[in-house]
Amino acid sequence: MQDSISFFTGFGINDLLFLGEAALKTLWISALSIAIGTLLGTFFGWLLHEGKLVASFTIAPILDVFRSVPLIIQLVLFYNFAPIIGLNFDPFASGVVILTFYTAALVASVARGGIEAVPASMRRASRSLGISYWQDLFYVVLPIGGRAVFPAWIGVVLGVMKDSALVSVLGYVELLKASQVLITRTQEPLLILAIAGAFYFALSYPISRYANKFEQRWSK
């Protein structure tokens, strides 16, 4: 009984700060991967829409690999095989690379769906008014298609943020890895996992709430 009490009291303010720092690392690797992955995914989605025949034999199979193969396998394979081709990435860089392409693969489908959500008749009408192709994309497709797929994109964002926990298998000390370290030392898994879950909630909930408010304003 005394041993269990000593284990419990071993969790202190420094451990809480350690988890908080790890939560910031989770936010950083997620934000970086989502930002770059969204840009790449939007570009890939445009390619899939515009070059359907060519893209179906080039880009689409590669994106299917990133969507289909479990993320943890992608992380382990890349981290271990990258040095063979001269890419000596640390766990953070490896995690960013894989999470970025994983995000891009998911966003590509979302972006293509957004483009295809705009009626062809509306796009033809805009072009008949003298609007260029790129102006049509920016002023017609983006507002209408973006509004249609915004909830799906938010789902991708929240999913990637949770999936970033898998980077812990590479040794990157994000929130899940920090929790494992503290559980090993304190033997208080329920307490530490509850705190880690609270941190994940604190990271995800504001995004979800702001997205709902933004979507409501956008739909007006």
Residue 12 lies in a domain: no
Burial of 41 (0-12, 13-18, 19+ CB in 10 A): buried
Q: Report if residue 7 sits inside a domain.
A: no
pLDDT surpasses 70 at 219: no
Task: Classify residue 129: in a domain, yes or no.
Answer: yes
- Residue 51 sits in a domain of what CATH number? 1.10.3720.10
Q: Does residue 134 form part of some domain? A: yes
User: Does residue 8 lie in a domain region?
Assistant: no
> Could you tell me the two tokens for 140?
């017609």
Residue 141 lies in a domain: yes
Segment 54-110, tens digit of pLDDT: 777 788 888 989 999 999 999 999 999 888 888 888 999 999 999 999 999 999 999
- DSSP alpha helix (H) spans, 118-188: 120-128, 133-136, 142-163, 175-186
CA distance readout (Å), 69 to 44, 62, 98, 128, 130:
19, 11, 12, 44, 45
Examine the pLDDT at 4 and tell me if it is beyond 80: no
**Rg of the chain over CA atoms, in angstroms?**
21
Lowest-confidence segment of 26-35, 169-178, 182-191 by average pLDDT:
182-191
Maximum Cα interatomic distance, the chain, rounded to a whole number of Å: 81
How many Cβ atoms from other residues are within 10 Å of residue 76's Cβ? 16
* Residue 2 located in a structural domain: no
pLDDT tens across 129-155, in order?
Answer: 888 888 888 888 888 888 888 889 999
Q: What's residue 32's pLDDT?
A: 95
> By CB neighbour count within 10 A (0-12 exposed, 13-18 middle, 19+ buried), where does 163 fall?
middle
Rounded mean pLDDT, 180-191: 82
Nearest to 154 by CA among 205, 105, 198: 205
Residue 3 inside a domain? The answer is: no
Q: What is the domain count for the chain?
A: 1
Distances (CA, A) of 60 to 97, 108, 110, 165, 196: 19, 9, 13, 27, 37
Q: Using alpha carbons only, give the angle 162, 168, 171 rounded to the nearest 5 degrees.
A: 160
Determine the structural domain holding residue 104 and report its residue range: 17-219
